[in-house]
């Protein structure tokens, strides 16, 4: 009997396929399927691109910007692959990965291939710039007619898709899942991690885990801390930034110019993120746009109290004042929220405990079970 075949398509490998989809490649391999991935090799050293449970990998020049000519080349390459390999399922991710894949699979759908698309956060959302609606909504509206299953990961996107898009089937799945047990760290180990970071038990540690991009908006947090630099609370306050990205040089310059450079620590990419959650006092997260943020779910899993922006995705996870605190996305509001929780350790503890409970439905076992049911229903 010939093996069934599945293809996963996304814009990039390292920062998407490897972060979110290896469990599903493993699932299909365990079911006896042949697995394939088509995405751009975004490793600094291309030789480092080794995808577990993947039988065939295709390096496609998919670009994030729609009008890049690389996307037309990626379409032609992917269409040839799909027509040749005759996949049973194609699961596409990321806006441009999904655009290229659904166009390339038009003929395959007529032959019986099922096409799934997981929207990790539509670019058109409440409060999005008009250009996002003008560019991305028409594409998603048109391609929804050739999507067998559209999967949304937050309630706002689900409601909008139900009202305005036309997939053959619409599903809500709570994110990509977070391995809650990994982040239920023993906070008693916190002092050791603090010493490793050059911090003491008396220090008040704020943490952000996010790539350094304009959207993640570290700059508002830095400006908030600058408002506190002459206050007594700031003396032992330190801000840890975990991640990498193109805005790091500008953020380092900003911290220095604001006179808070000695209190801001750029940790870069880390393998010890659970321990960083475990040794911190407060998670601060003020992005402009999210689908369903993994870092926020990780912080909640660790029992860390949270201050975050009131945006799509964050609203799916946080009930204001119960398992976290929403702050307006401006420095003064963030500074006030930080000071309020600084002086109230009991409330921080209550918020952290409630967060750990609230995030349980987003556990990866639950998400993987739902995705398996969707896959099997298509066979």
Q: What CATH code is carried by the domain that includes residue 125?
A: 3.40.50.2000
> Are 20 and 163 members of one domain?
yes
Q: What is the dihedral of CA 319, 273, 214, 340, to 10 degrees?
A: 40
> Are 173 and 184 members of one domain?
no
Q: What is the pLDDT of residue 292?
A: 95
> Are 352 and 370 members of one domain?
no
Cβ-contact 91, 9 below 8 angstroms? yes
> Are 228 and 135 members of one domain?
no
Looking at the structure of the chain, the number of domains it has is 2
Domain hosting residue 12, numbered range: 5-177+363-377
pLDDT band at 222 (very low <50, low <70, confident <90, very high): very high
d(CA 22, CA 51): 8
Cβ-contact 311, 287 below 8 angstroms? yes
Q: State yes or no: pLDDT of 218 exceeds 90.
A: yes
SS3 17: helix
> Are 169 and 124 members of one domain?
yes
Q: What is the pLDDT of residue 379?
A: 84
> Are 275 and 216 members of one domain?
yes
Helices (H), 145-215: 155-164, 180-183, 190-196
> Are 143 and 9 members of one domain?
yes
d(CA 360, CA 355): 9
> Are 34 and 9 members of one domain?
yes
> Are 268 and 313 members of one domain?
yes
Compute the average pLDDT of residues 292-308: 96
> Are 351 and 372 members of one domain?
no
Compute the average pLDDT of residues 217-240: 96
> Are 47 and 188 members of one domain?
no
Q: What is the pLDDT of residue 126?
A: 87
Structure confidence by residue, pLDDT tens digits, 3-34: 999 999 999 999 899 999 999 999 999 999 99
- What average pLDDT is seen over the chain? 95
> Are 162 and 206 members of one domain?
no
Q: Which residues contact 86 (CB under 8 A, 6 or more apart)?
A: 5, 108, 111, 113
Q: What is the pLDDT of residue 186?
A: 63
How far the first Cα of the chain sits from its last, in Å, is: 15
CA of residue 371 relative to chain centroid, distance: 17
d(CA 239, CA 242): 10
Compute the average pLDDT of residues 348-356: 97
pLDDT band at 145 (very low <50, low <70, confident <90, very high): very high
SS3 72: helix
Structure confidence by residue, pLDDT tens digits, 52-82: 999 999 999 999 888 899 999 999 999 999 9
d(CA 267, CA 240): 7
Question: Rounded to whole angstroms, what are the CA distances from 175 to 13, 51, 134?
Answer: 19, 22, 26
């Amino acid at each position: 009997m010939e093996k069934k075949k599945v293809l996963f398509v996304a814009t990039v490998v390292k920062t998407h396929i490897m972060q979110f989809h290896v469990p599903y490649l493993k699932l299909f391999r365990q079911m006896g399927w042949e697995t394939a991935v088509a995405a751009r090799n975004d490793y600094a050293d291309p030789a480092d691109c080794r995808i577990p449970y993947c039988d065939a990998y295709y390096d496609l020049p998919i670009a994030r910007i729609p009008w890049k000519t690389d996307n037309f080349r990626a379409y032609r390459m992917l269409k040839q692959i799909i027509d040749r390999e005759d996949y049973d399922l194609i699961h596409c991710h990321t806006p441009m990965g999904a655009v290229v894949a659904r166009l390339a699979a038009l003929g395959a759908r007529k032959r019986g291939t099922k096409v799934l698309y997981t929207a990790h956060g539509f670019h058109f959302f409440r409060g999005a710039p008009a250009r996002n609606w003008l560019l991305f909504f028409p594409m998603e509206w048109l391609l929804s007619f050739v999507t067998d299953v559209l999967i949304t990961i937050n309630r706002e996107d689900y409601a909008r898709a139900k009202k305005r898009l036309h997939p053959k089937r619409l599903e809500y799945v709570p994110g990509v899942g977070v391995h809650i047990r990994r982040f239920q760290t023993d906070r008693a180990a916190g002092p050791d991690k603090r010493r490793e970071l050059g911090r003491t038990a008396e220090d008040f540690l704020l943490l952000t885990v996010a790539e350094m991009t304009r959207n993640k908006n570290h700059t508002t947090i830095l400006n908030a801390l600058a408002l506190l630099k002459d206050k007594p609370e700031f003396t032992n306050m330190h801000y840890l930034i975990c991640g990498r990205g193109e805005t790091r040089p500008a953020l380092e310059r900003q911290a220095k110019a604001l006179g808070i450079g000695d209190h801001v620590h750029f940790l870069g990419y880390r393998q010890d993120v659970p321990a960083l959650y475990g040794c911190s006092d407060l998670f601060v997260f003020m992005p402009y746009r999210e689908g369903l943020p993994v870092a926020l779910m990780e912080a909640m899993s660790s029992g860390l109290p949270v201050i975050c922006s009131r945006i799509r995705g964050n609203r799916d996870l946080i009930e204001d004042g119960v398992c976290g605190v929403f702050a307006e996305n401006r420095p003064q509001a963030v500074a006030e929220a930080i000071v309020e929780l600084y002086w109230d350790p009991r409330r921080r503890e209550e918020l952290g405990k409630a967060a750990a409970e609230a995030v349980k439905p987003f556990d990866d076992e639950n998400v993987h079970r739902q995705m398996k049911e969707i896959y099997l229903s298509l066979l």
